Each structure stands twice: as structure tokens, then as C-alpha cells.
Amino acid sequence: MEKKSYKNLEERVWNTDACSGCGACIAVCPADALYYREGDSHPVSFGYCKQETDNVPCGACYEVCPRVPEKSVTVDAIGDYLSLFGAKSTKDSPLYQSGGAVTAILAHGLENNLIDAVVTVTEDRWLKKPESTLITSTGEILSYAGSRYSWYTPVLSALKTAVLERKYRAVAVVGVPCAVSALRLMKESDNDLIQPYARAIRLIIGLFCTEIFDYHLFIEGMKEKMQAEPWDITRMDIKGGLIIEREGFIPEKIDLSSLSFCVRKGCHICRDFTAIDADISAGSMGTPDGYTTLIVRTPVGKGFLDSAVRAGSVILADNVSPDPIISHAKKKSEMNRLPQDTTRA
């Protein structure tokens, strides 16, 4: 079959505002020819391409893109799973977004050499600026707990460093559903150029996601709506709206519809709320405050969670109600449905 190139991505994903900004194409391009220009909603090319310029078969970028129409997730509910739990870390921290179960599973994996690195999104806490980061110590994992609700960089860029530069062979990746789907495409690809990624990714943790904000527009929005600088914000959460906490103020809830101007373009056609391609999906919806909802989807996910529970790092509870999660997933899927969509699961 004829391999596709970045030209096909440009035509079918970049120029149609379908790009989610996951950065998978940038990570796997063997010529390092794709990059992200701050302010753009999709990657761009330096102009060189193995396939287009030298006629050498490649197709890597196209094969891992979750937004190529024939590969896009068109799910109507929460996908297949093995089990559903409320979970929390047994170590306390004010930084956890929900119950800290994601941090606890990753920290347990690093401490016990089940994984040798984690690719995740951290932030400059002063500017609230998100960053794709490679982490190898439990101390760092604990210090970067919490959710980043905006981005501007290719989220999976640290994956290239992990796999090709540092040559880690057991990498865990945390991502929102679009990034998770790209990771699953990498794992399932038979393209030789993608194989190093397929072999190195050991655990995929997906975070529930309704939408994500463009970093710069979001910061502008906070200044305009609340006269808040990024360093004034002490905590953010999405729970029936965006909750902003600041020192000396009572928490304020902003209606998400009033922030639609800063939602990234690619989110408007996203139909996956719960990261159906993950090994374990995690969110706050469906469990009481202080717990993380975990959807365990694969034997790999089950293995990591069981190990963390056996070691006493995570405790599980039978306190999940799936109904609000299913209902929200259906709402997102329906709202972002395109006329040509067909449903996958």
C-alpha cells in the first residue's frame, strides 16, 4: 500500500482544523522535519520529507495521527473495560487533582522498576505553562501531581527523548484521550520506523477530558474575566464548570460555555471523553471528592493497579457510579458528531 506523508496530514488534518495538537506526528518523524510553532493549532513542516523529497517509504506521521478521518475515535459511551473503581493514594498530598491514584500508580511503577520513565505534562507553576516532560524519579512524579487544563506544546514530544535519545525500554505515558489514541496507534503499528515506540511504551494512562484550552488564550481570558495573573491562581479544577482558587478569595466557578473562545480547535470534533484506548483511564467524575475514578481496560492496566494495591500504595473503594460518566461521554460524543461519523463502540 502506498505510504502517506505529511502532505496528506496537511490536507486532511491540519487544514481542516481537526488536529488535536497531540504531537505524535512530531515525535515519530524520523527526519525531525515537523515542529510546532507557538500560536498555531497544528504542527508545520520544515519542507524536507523522506518520502516527498527523497522518495524513501516512510508514512510514520500519518500512521500515528488519531485525527485522520478513518482512524478517529467515534465512540458513543465509555468503551470496553474490565473493572471500575474509586481509588486513592495512601500518601497524602495537596497537589493531587482527585485521589492521587494516577501519581501513586506511576510512583509505585518507578520505585519497583516496573517502568523506567514517565512521559507526562508538567507545568511552570508560576506561569501555569504546560510542558511535555520526561520523569524518572518518584520525587518528581509526586511534585508534578495535578491536572494541566491548557497546552501549547506537542504533548508527546518528550516521548522522542525517552525512546530515541535515552533509549528507555519501559515507558509509561499519561495523556488526554487524543494523545492516548495516538499512543495506541503506535503500539499497533507494523511500520519499522514506529517499532521502537511500540516496544518501549509499557503503560498508557488516559485522563478523562471534556476539552482543553489554548494556553495563551486561557491566560488572557483569566486576566479579562477575573483580573487574575497566572501566579495568582493556586488551584484549578473542572467540576460542573472551571473552578479557580486564589489566595484570599473564595473559589469561583466559571461556566465552561463562557470559555469556548479559548478551547483548542481540534477539541470541537473530539468524541472521546474517557480515553477508550488507554490501559487505565482516570477522572474525577463518578466518585466522591478525594477519590480518582479508575476504568481498568486491559490486562496491563490491571497488572499495574493490582501491584500498586498489593504494595499498599493505592486503596480501592466500591464507590463509583458509572451513570454520570456514561451520560457525559454520550453528551460529548453527540455534541461533537460530524455528519459523516460512524460509531465505533
Which residue in the block uniquely carries the three cell numbers 486532511? 12
Q: Give min distance, CB of 296 to ligand SF4, in A.
A: 20
* Grid cell of 114 as nine digits: 516496573
Given 4, 5, 12, 13, the residue binding ligand SF4 (CB under 6 A): 13
Question: Within positions 179 to 198, which residues make up the interface with ligand SF4, using CB under 6 A?
Answer: 182
**Contact mark string toward ligand FAD, 89..128, x via CB under 6 A:** -------xxxxxxxx----------------xxx------
Helix (H, G, I), strand (E, B) or coil at 206: strand
* CA–CA gap between residue 176 and residue 178 (Å, rounded): 6
- The residue among 20 and 189 lying less far from ligand SF4, judged by its C-beta, is 20
**φ, ψ at 35 (rounded to 5°):** -150, 170
Q: Give min distance, CB of 136 to ligand SF4, in A.
A: 25
What is the β-pairing status of strands 171-175 and 117-124? parallel
263: contact with ligand FAD by CB under 6 A? no
266: contact with ligand FAD by CB under 6 A? no
Task: Name the one range near ligand SF4 by CB under 6 A: 49-57, 76-84, 124-132, 259-267.
Answer: 259-267
Q: Give min distance, CB of 180 to ligand SF4, in A.
A: 8
Q: Give min distance, CB of 170 to ligand FAD, in A.
A: 17
Instruction: Name which of ligand SF4, ligand FAD, none residue 285 binds, using a CB cut-off of 5 to 8 Å depending on partner kind.
Output: ligand FAD
Instruction: Name which of ligand FAD, ligand SF4, none residue 116 binds, using a CB cut-off of 5 to 8 Å depending on partner kind.
Output: none
Closest CA to 141 of 174, 182, 176: 174
Neighbours of 77 (CB within 10 A): 17
Instruction: Name which of ligand SF4, ligand FAD, none residue 101 binds, using a CB cut-off of 5 to 8 Å depending on partner kind.
Output: ligand FAD
Q: Give min distance, CB of 274 to ligand SF4, in A.
A: 10
- The residue among 275 and 314 lying less far from ligand SF4, judged by its C-beta, is 275
Inter-residue contact 151 to 130 (CB < 8 Å): yes
21: contact with ligand SF4 by CB under 6 A? yes
- The residue among 285 and 296 lying less far from ligand FAD, judged by its C-beta, is 285
Q: Which residues pair with 295 in a beta bridge?
A: 84, 281
Provide the CB-side half-sphere exposure for 97 (13 A, CA): 23
* CA–CA gap between residue 232 and residue 213 (Å, rounded): 18
- The residue among 109 and 221 lying less far from ligand SF4, judged by its C-beta, is 221
Helix (H, G, I), strand (E, B) or coil at 263: strand
Instruction: Name which of ligand SF4, ligand FAD, none residue 270 binds, using a CB cut-off of 5 to 8 Å depending on partner kind.
Output: ligand SF4
9: contact with ligand SF4 by CB under 6 A? yes
Helices 299-310 and 101-111 sit at what angle, rounded to 10 degrees? 80
Q: Give min distance, CB of 198 to ligand SF4, in A.
A: 16
Start-to-end Cα distance in the chain: 27
304: contact with ligand FAD by CB under 6 A? no
Neighbours of 35 (CB within 10 A): 15
* CA–CA gap between residue 11 and residue 94 (Å, rounded): 45
Strands (DSSP E) contained in the chain are 34-35, 44-45, 83-89, 117-124, 129-135, 150-151, 171-175, 201-207, 213-214, 233-238, 242-246, 252-254, 280-283, 292-296, 314-317
Instruction: Name which of ligand FAD, ligand SF4, none residue 276 binds, using a CB cut-off of 5 to 8 Å depending on partner kind.
Output: none
285: contact with ligand FAD by CB under 6 A? yes
Closest CA to 206 of 106, 102, 132: 102
| Chain contacts with ligand FAD (rule: CB under 6 A) | 96-103, 120-122, 144-149, 151, 155, 174-176, 207-210, 212, 238, 282-285, 292
| Chain contacts with ligand SF4 (rule: CB under 6 A) | 9, 13, 19-25, 42-43, 64-67, 176-178, 182, 209, 211-212, 264, 266-267, 270
